[in-house]
Chain A
Amino acid sequence: GESVGLHLPTLSVQEGDNSIINCAYSNSASDYFIWYKQESGKGPQFIIDIRSNMDKRQGQRVTVLLNKTVKHLSLQIAATQPGDSAVYFCAENIGDYGQNFVFGPGTRLSVLP
């Protein structure tokens, strides 16, 4: 399948443990953020989003935290499973228009048995 990055930072976690993936975004004016998951050979899939008027949002097994002071976003995955192995990247947006998204290079999550 398509390789999304040969030299991405990698996070290795044991199956069942919690994972935390971090992202530093670039623009203090960004007001909408998304986490995407990309499996090998596939397109990015939406996981969870958050707007700048929030600092935390929870989904099913995932939580996104936003720290606007230091321009930092994190994705927490609870009870990590083998199917969570993928590249995860954040996207920031100003004004919430599709053409304004700026994407991070991503982190590869590897789940160990």
Chain B
Amino acid sequence: DAGITQSPRHKVTETGTPVTLRCHQTENHRYMYWYRQDPGHGLRLIHYSYGVKDTDKGEVSDGYSVSRSKTEDFLLTLESATSSQTSVYFCAISGGSSMPNTGELFFGEGSRLTVL
């Protein structure tokens, strides 16, 4: 168990509403990531963070924003949810508190979001 908690685990919302997913880690890892997983696709990177207040875009960042005000928390926000954002979202961490972000990714249990 890599000490990663995602919340909520399940959410149903309506088009146009804002949604925030939270990832909390107890490992003091510097690097955190948000991925989405859809049928027929591999995991795709949305955004990642390389430290407090330091974030960057991934492959599918349009429509998403992130924030990292503390080492342990990485928030993913959908400002105005659309049906195309219905997906399973996974948070991941890598590296250590002072190590580079190399090596394996450790994943959370996922958050299923349905946008009606």
Q: Is the CB of B108 within 8 A of A99?
A: no
User: Which residues from chain A contact B56 at a C-beta distance below 8 Å?
Assistant: 99
- In the complex, A16 has a CB within 8 A of chain B: no
User: Which residues from chain A contact B42 at a C-beta distance below 8 Å?
Assistant: 89, 91, 102-106
Q: Which of A6, A49, A99, A102 contacts B104 (CB 8 A)?
A: A49
Q: Is the CB of B43 within 8 A of A96?
A: no
- Chain B interface extent, by class: 20 to 34
Interface SS, A side: loop
Q: Is the CB of B39 within 8 A of A6?
A: yes
User: Which residues from chain B contact A49 at a C-beta distance below 8 Å?
Assistant: 103-104
Binding site for A on B (CB under 8 A): 4, 31, 33, 37, 39-45, 48, 56, 58, 88, 90, 92, 94-95, 100-110, 112
Q: Contacts A43-B109, A49-B103, A98-B92 known; list 15 others, CB within 8 Å.
A: A4-B39, A4-B88, A5-B40, A6-B39, A7-B39, A7-B40, A43-B107, A49-B104, A91-B42, A97-B101, A98-B31, A98-B48, A99-B48, A99-B56, A99-B58
Binding site for B on A (CB under 8 A): 2-7, 34, 41-46, 49, 89, 91, 96-99, 101-106
Task: Report, nearest first, the 4 A-B pairs whose CB atoms are least far apart.
Answer: A103-B42, A43-B107, A98-B101, A98-B94
